[in-house]
Structure 1
Amino acid sequence: MTDPARPDIQSGRLPAEALARGFSDLHPALEPHEVLVEADRCYFCYDAPCMQACPTSIDIPLFIREIQAGNPIGAAKTILSANILGGMCARVCPTETLCEEVCVREVAEGKPVQIGLLQRHATDLMMETGHHPFERAAPTGRRIAVVGAGPAGLSCAHRLAMLGHEVTIFEARPKLGGLNEYGIAAYKATEDFAQREVEFLLKIGGITIETGKALGRDIHLADLRRDYDAVFLGLGLAGVNALGLAEGEDQIGTRDAVAWIADLRQTADLSELPVGRRVVVIGGGMTATDAAVQAKALGAEDVTIAYRRGREQMNASPYEQEVAATRGVHLRFNLQPKRIFAEHGHVTGIELERTRIEAGKLVLTGETVTIEADQVFKAIGQSFVADGTDGEGAGIALERGRIQVDAARRTSLDGVWAGGDCIAEGEDLTVVAVEDGKIAAMDIHSALTAAERVAAE
């Protein structure tokens, strides 16, 4: 169906069978015999470089040995004790640049143990049982507010609930999960996995959910600090970086890639989602490759990723670049957007200027190229929006535009912790956000426990 307001952006470009293929699971689960073969390949290294490379320090040799011994549920508990979102991380972690990159098999043979797929096997089996592997400690009577239900907030809430505290999660959106729900490519987390994992996590008990509550609008930091014993901020990155073009950035057909992916993830029928015939994605990270691959899967005939630096500088891993290339996406480098062309308010193309590196700096060459396009997606990063954090005197201290925290994830405000993409150390990875939440939860617990001891003396 053609939208008269956007004549070159249409829905229903592909039949249902083609859509199903394009959005099928990127990493299908291993078959039972494949699991055993892969587990047998592990050397169970004593000083396990894979474990050291994991931001959440999952005991990888142990869980693989448990799988090998026929105890996948025990393996899942080993995984989830370190990373409660281990199921999603098994799907979306860049294992090729983390645990699998340093696997001894990779170093020696160029073929690592498929750690991510083994992790998925164990955690999927655990979730299928319907049983939650952890029990809550005795109630402490302490109440903690968690703002933001992304990976950091969920991780923090689960660990605090497990330690016996009462937790209330405040989330601005209708669903929990953060980028796991709204920002991950649909072919990486199929069959509503993000919500199924959230439901699994909440089985720990002791967690109250309040959706539609945004910090600075519906809830306020001063009130949370007054009414709760501690506050954790997992606010993510709500701002979107602009291209900064002198001309054409607001034409019909230009969109923020993150918002478009969120729309796609919440679309019940992919055949109803419009996409251009010729699509250009500006950026070089995971969001850029996710948007480009999904545009192609929806039926866009020509999709190009344009990145201002060289291939080796792309934030998207070589594997993600390969996924995009093998699915028909053109990757073009050393091109910086200059202006977007439009006719009657509709995008018709984009002009880009060639770049090169001189003395370590990116410089423009003056030479331009034009790519025809009906749709241009902006995927050049997000920024922290401090709404709601700046209403208490000087507000929370920021560093490089994000929340400043110490090693325990404490902010400059007493009783307030933070983690995930919103902190200065954030790496925009689900697994790193999970670790932030876990570290903060343990420090909150220590702080509350210490306060109780002082009060009792």
Structure 2
Amino acid sequence: MPNSPLTPGIVPGRLPAAEYDRNFTDLIAPLDRHEARVAADRCYFCYDAPCITACPTAIDIPLFIRQIATGTPEAAAKTIWSQNILGGICARVCPTETLCEQACVREAAEGHPVRIGALQRYATDLVMAKGEHPFSRAPATGRRIAVVGSGPAGLACAHRLALHGHQVVIFERRSRPGGLNEYGLASYKTAGDFAGREIDWLLQIGGIEIRCGVEIGTDLSLDALRAGFDAVYLGIGLQGVNDPGLGRPGLTGVRDAVDFIAELRQAADPASLPVGRDVLVLGGGMTAIDAAVQARRLGAARVTLLYRRSRAEMGASEYEQELALLNGVQILDQVLPVRLIGETRLEAVECAHTRPGAAGPELSDARFTLAADQLLIAVGQRLAGLPGGLSAENGRLGSLPPGVWAGGDCTAEGKDLTVSAVAAGRDAAEAISLALRGD
């Protein structure tokens, strides 16, 4: 008999088994063939398409949609993958509502854009299901490149380098590859171990080796990589979590939201993950939303998201905010926790209302207390534990030694989006190939 959602404390198994199955299946059902053709027919196939400009990987969106409309989804998938080799997972998690679909002419004219993300998923899923890989490696160049990190930036870089005929070794500190895609995204967005299956498909290009459980700076030095390889690419993401300044680090019930999401993603059964009855989530970005919605779907009776600025300033898109509300999450904006209450375990959180100030949100004298047995912190990440030879500036990588490239969230250009990391990895691979040819 499962625990009731009203059971006090942090406990597993709050819901019947059937509810977990429903709560952690695909958030949005994929299009079938007829639905895809109907959706594709709405595209104007603009000559100077604003959706291409809005896509960080610059996929030729009108072309791939026309290919679906004319009954050649295999060609559509190749068009997508030629720019974004992780087009399958990006179709699931990319905030298309603020990127390509927001720029769609149909959106401007009618308030109802072409379903670009769903069409991208339709084409890529169809070809991946056949086990086909549409690209072949160029003749071997004899060059070896080390890629540190197997997240979207590292994978995109490795695939493009392999496509050019180079040999690539990816070093990953965790036990499974995938980075953000494997550990940092909501389970209902990547159901069916899609992240792992996409990596297996990507590796069909050949010439890529992944070594898990190897941490640069601990198990292997950056200098050793520079000496043993012709080039090094760093796609290490952001490993540290910002401190909200609340103190009480040993208090039971307080944890980082990224760890909560990662644990759920790696759980064989979501019912095994303990969750509180009264859960608070601190933050306003995509990680905060993912944590809050998943806490509700695990059976938390009450989930409240606390954000220090206004709703309009939240990093999470309007779509994600609506998703949270539809899942029963309460969003309190212009609110900031100021004190954790409890001796050994969290019992409540004292909060203060905020108001806009010259240097950011300022605390008002208005205080209130929320009951809480679990607090998930999602106030941003930073670089941590950099190996020798690297420095951080403003929380991101600083200058790099010769022969070393970097991209994705670990750099100043990082935008905390899978699709932007893919673009960074792809472009770095082209730069590395040019450099190795002496151009």
* TM-score (structure 1 length as normaliser): 0.93
Residue 155 of structure 1 pairs with residue 156 of structure 2: yes
**1:31 CA displacement:** 2.1
The unaligned stretches of length 5 or more in structure 2 are: none
Task: Please give the secondary structure, in 2, of the residue aligned with 1:440.
Answer: helix
- Specify the alignment match of 1:428 in structure 2: 416
Task: Please give the secondary structure, in 2, of the residue aligned with 1:330.
Answer: strand
2:314 is matched by which residue type in structure 1?
Answer: M
CA distance in 2, matches of 1:426, 1:433: 7
CA distance in 1, matches of 2:358, 2:146: 49
Let me know the Cα RMSD of the aligned residues: 1.3
1:1-43 Cα distance to aligned partner (Å, 9 max, x none): 78xxx96111110001111121121121012211111000000
Residue 398 of structure 1 pairs with residue 399 of structure 2: no
Residue 107 of structure 1 pairs with residue 95 of structure 2: no
- Specify the alignment match of 1:205 in structure 2: 206
**1:387 CA displacement:** 2.1
User: Residue 304 of structure 2 contacts residue 331 of structure 2 at CA under 8 Å; is this kept in 1?
Assistant: yes
User: Residue 256 of structure 1 contacts residue 378 of structure 1 at CA under 8 Å; is this kept in 2?
Assistant: yes
Task: Please give the secondary structure, in 1, of the residue aligned with 2:365.
Answer: strand
User: Residue 284 of structure 1 contacts residue 316 of structure 1 at CA under 8 Å; is this kept in 2?
Assistant: yes
User: Residue 249 of structure 1 contacts residue 340 of structure 1 at CA under 8 Å; is this kept in 2?
Assistant: no
User: Residue 338 of structure 1 contacts residue 352 of structure 1 at CA under 8 Å; is this kept in 2?
Assistant: yes
- Specify the alignment match of 1:298 in structure 2: 298
Residue 374 of structure 1 pairs with residue 373 of structure 2: yes
User: Residue 337 of structure 1 contacts residue 351 of structure 1 at CA under 8 Å; is this kept in 2?
Assistant: yes
C-alpha spacing 1:7/1:362, structure 2 compared with 1 (3 Å) = closer
CA distance in 1, matches of 2:121, 2:425: 21
- Specify the alignment match of 2:11 in structure 1: 10
1:262 is matched by which residue type in structure 2?
Answer: A
Greater alpha carbon shift after TM alignment, 42-51 vs 16-25: 16-25
**1:386 CA displacement:** 4.3
* TM-score (structure 2 length as normaliser): 0.97
1:391-437 Cα distance to aligned partner (Å, 9 max, x none): 2xxx3353322114xxxxxx531100001110111001000000000
- Specify the alignment match of 1:140 in structure 2: 141
Task: Please give the secondary structure, in 2, of the residue aligned with 1:108.
Answer: helix
Task: Please give the secondary structure, in 2, of the residue aligned with 1:101.
Answer: helix
1:104 is matched by which residue type in structure 2?
Answer: V
Q: How many residue pairs are counted as aligned between the two chains? A: 435
- Specify the alignment match of 2:21 in structure 1: 20
Aligned-residue identity in percent: 57
Residue 450 of structure 1 pairs with residue 438 of structure 2: yes
CA distance in 2, matches of 1:216, 1:398: 15
The unaligned stretches of length 5 or more in structure 1 are: 405-410, 452-457
1:413 is matched by which residue type in structure 2?
Answer: P
1:324 is matched by which residue type in structure 2?
Answer: A
CA distance in 2, matches of 1:174, 1:266: 11
Matches within 5 A, 1:28-427: 28-246=29-247, 248-343=248-343, 345-359=344-358, 361-388=360-387, 391=388, 395-404=389-398, 412-427=400-415
**1:233 CA displacement:** 0.3
1:332-365 Cα distance to aligned partner (Å, 9 max, x none): 011111011114x111111111101134731111
Residue 437 of structure 1 pairs with residue 425 of structure 2: yes
CA distance in 2, matches of 1:359, 1:347: 33
User: Residue 352 of structure 2 contacts residue 367 of structure 2 at CA under 8 Å; is this kept in 1?
Assistant: yes
1:363-406 Cα distance to aligned partner (Å, 9 max, x none): 11121111101100001011111421xx2xxx3353322114xx
1:195-242 Cα distance to aligned partner (Å, 9 max, x none): 000001000000111110001011110000011000000111110111
